[in-house]
Amino acid sequence: MNRFMGGVLSRSVLFLMAGGMLTHAVEPGFVLRPSRGQAPSQHCQILDETVEPLYSAGLTYLPTSEYAGHGRTGQMELDAGLKIAFFEDVAQGDLDVGARFRGILYPRSANIGLPNQLASLAADITWSWRFHDGFGAQFLAAPGFYWDIEDLSLDMLFVPFSGRIIRTYNRDVSAILGLDIRPGFETLVVPVIGVDWQIHESLRLRARFPESRMTAYFQNWSVYAGYRWDSQSYRLKEKGPYDRDLFTIEDQRLFLGAVGWMSPDLHVFGEVGRVFDRSVEFGESVPDISAKVKVGSTQFLRFGVGGPF
């Protein structure tokens, strides 16, 4: 995976240099908002478009899959997000503060000692700045607990953070380049690279790594298709024959979804897709169980509700 990340990053830098100095919890779909007091020439597709609602909650179901050479189990996921506050002109930037929760449930251990429940509860902090000539920057942080829900302690506190440079070419196209730094996680560094493009008033493309999607808008609903790579680590406090202290879930997902507005303050969404290139990895191997176990591909179903943007 590290070789893959290095290749992505090196090609990304070359791409951005060729074009001049150019610059996730999970979104149900893109809905746009007016810029915060920006003139049309200053409008940025990344800084001025809201793609996350005031609040959201979703449930994901993954059917039973094979854990190679061991056993089988399914997976349930619950995610929720809440925007708490927005502050203007904080150290010459704008500060968004929110919170995110993600829970994962394994009904069976798949004969490898899978934890019963995992959870992450973290702040969602985004600090954004605008500079001259279309440049901008963001600092993001998600300090919080990433843990086996049966046992909580201070060593389960992680502080992942990210730095990103943004370049706006015109009001329809903006690009981004950055790194997610995640101390304590199995994958320490993840590149962030891509372009946001308002192709038409009813069509928007977010071509990025680690998540991309294309969204089409209609009067009271929208449809979207996308891709997401994800790697998430959790601290364990195991009991019994094992003493493993870290657990990582990694996968890639392709999905199709739709968002429907029930009222100005409430929308519902649904997704179907396929999850592939899956694995789970413990911090160390134990007798008869390797540290990293491949997991079979499967379909998934996700649905939920959200608030205004």
Residue 303, token pair as written in the block: 């649905």
84 neighbors 99 (Cβ within 8 angstroms): yes
Look at residue 234 in the predicted model and tell me its pLDDT: 96
Residue 139 to residue 136: CA distance in whole angstroms:
11
Q: What is the mean pLDDT of the chain?
A: 87
Q: How far apart are CA 143 and CA 154, in angstroms?
A: 12
Is pLDDT larger for residue 191 or for residue 237?
191
Which residue is it, tokens 């979104």? 27
Which tokens sit at 191?
Answer: 């590149």
Is the Cβ–Cβ distance between 70 and 112 less than 8 Å? yes
pLDDT(18) > 70: no
* Structure-token pair, residue 245: 């202290």
- Is the CB of residue 157 less than 8 Å from the CB of residue 185? no
Contacts of 134 (CB under 8 A, 6+ apart): 44, 167, 168, 169
Predicted pLDDT at 77: 98
DSSP code for 239: -
Q: What percent of the chain has pLDDT over 70?
A: 85
- pLDDT tens, 116-166? 999 999 999 999 999 988 999 999 999 999 999 877 777 899 999 999 999
pTM of the model as a whole:
0.84
Domains of the chain, CATH where assigned: 2-306 (2.40.160)
Q: What average pLDDT score do residues 45-62 get?
A: 91
Question: Which tokens hold the place of 169?
Answer: 């070419």
Whether 39 has a pLDDT exceeding 50, the answer reads: no
Instruction: Give the pLDDT score at 37.
Output: 42
Tens-digit pLDDT profile for residues 215-227: 999 999 999 999 9
